[in-house]
Amino acid sequence: MQTFFKYIVTVLIITIISINAKSKDPVRGHNGMVVSASDIASLVGVDILEKGGNAVDAAVATGFALAVTYPQAGNIGGGGFMVIHLEDGTNTSIDYREKAPKSAFRDMFLDKYGKYDLTKSTEGWSSSGVPGSVAGLLYALEKYGTMTRDEVIQPAIKLAYNGFLADYRFAETLNNYKNVFAKYKSTAKIFTKKDEEFSEGELFIQKDLAKTLKSIKLNGTEGFYKGEVADLIAKHSKSKGGLITKEDLANYNAVERAPVIGNYRNSTIISMGPPSSGGIALLEALNSIEYFSFEKDSWGSSNYIHKVSEVLKYVYADRAEHLGDVDFYPVPQNWLISKKRGKEIAALINDNAIPSKIISHAIPPKKESEETTHYSVVDSYGNAVSVTTTLNSTFGNKIVVSGAGFIMNNEMDDFSAKPGTSNQYGLLGGEANAIEPNKRMLSAMTPTIILNSEDKPFMIIGSPGGSTIITTVLQIILNVIDFNMDIQTAIDAPRFHHQWKPDRIDFEHFGMTDDVKKNLIKRGQFIGKERVLGRAEGIIIDYKNNVIWGASDPRGFGAAVGY
């Protein structure tokens, strides 16, 4: 217990120093950096680096810590993607996206009249896919890490068993969801207080979660996908009409895949391939934008926003028509990320907007939740890791697995329940992403690593934000490479978003002046709504000065921690 309180005091001291030292500069380090949506999780990751672990070790430790300190999106009841660059030049990615249960079927979210029922795909156990996070994190650790499960999971166990001090944002978030949590006995037990609300500074303890994490530490994937934890998941699912069985859990596996790789202005872009649409869409956009030249002062201009938005129309139209789980659908990946396709798109763009309705007749893919989380890691050895993970909605389907202490995802809503029908976020779905047993649902997650001309990691970046992830990551990359911004400025800068359909440019506060809006309208663009776009976590490595720069998005409440 004494060790635990020493750890908490250390967290508080470092956090206070971080808060008081905030400035326009990104966080500075020399040996390693972790940037995540939780300051405590970032500290856990850096502690692993300081003990000699590599970036994969730190990423796995951060991931398990986020399951404790950021339960609204950090998870072991969901899934995600990891992109890795190793010091020996190896580039790879790990797909641990959730899968549809074996008994899932195409029309499972339609009522007797053939009408899409949003409630079925977002609430209750029927909305949950088979979770992949534990399998993915352990696969990465066992193949590319250097430390033991005990070393990387024990910090999360301590945080769950002994508790962590809730900051006011975490307490406020739990209190805001109190009425929703109260609908589920297992959730209310942990995430609500009977006659009062959570307050800033109190210990938040999750002993059931600690027990589950201990099972994973001792038994590896079998400690989650088999045995007592699997029994608890399958039993709770069956009792509430869910589809996940012990067989589904036992048969789940993470998949190592070749990442998608391209080049942009002498930099190498490494990102996630299908079933994520993010990497392909990012490379397709960059290949098109490469044919334009933007002066430094043109950032935020109507010409810049117009051209990027026009490119995005074609990119999102191609995403709608061609992207899905590559194990189930023939994705024309090489064509989509080719320089030829980029040139074709660039040649179609002029000073006047092309209406989205004439670009393609494909049905837009369903928009996924914006409550995802990303973390970026780099170590002193030359390894870099970029991870994006999610439960889909905030706190997933809101159901804690009884006795296991973690919240389940509602990722089944990311499938196309019915072509032409909107999901909870208003975007439609197409055939490539239709529900099939054991299939992985389409995602926009875009964990990305950029190498410099010497093939060394230069930038690690990613973001939550559903369909806005792609445009968020794209613009931060452009801010750094085309406009020479530092990583904090690049992340802080206001963003805009176009996803083909609806045919409009959304924008952030202070992101578009009246003159710019008027000029865009003259070009035939439609101005959408003001909204928050993404919450990125990024790193840049300056080899010349031996400095690592980290930045957490001010739109969120995370932290960059270096040493």
Q: Which residues are marked as active site?
A: 372
Backbone angles phi, psi at 426, to 5 degrees: 90, 0
Residue 430 CA from chain centroid, whole number: 22
Contact assessment for residue 384 and residue 377, using Cβ atoms and an 8 Å cutoff? yes
Closest CA to 239 of 103, 119, 124, 396: 124
CA distances (Å), origin 334, targets 260, 327, 449, 469, 479: 9, 16, 19, 22, 26
CA distance 94 to 370: 21
| Strand-pair category, 527-530 with 537-542 | unpaired
State which H helix or E strand residue 267 sits in. strand 267-271
- Cα separation of 1 and 110, whole Å? 52
Strand, helix or coil for residue 487: helix
Rounded to whole angstroms, the Cα distance separating 368 from 366 reads 6
Rounded Cα–Cα distance for residues 178 and 191 (Å): 8
Segment holding 377, helix H or strand E? strand 372-378
User: What are the two backbone dihedrals, phi and then psi, of residue 126, each rounded to the nearest 5 degrees?
Assistant: -65, -15
CA distances from 326 to 95, 277, 440 (A): 12, 10, 9
DSSP secondary structure letter of residue 402 = T
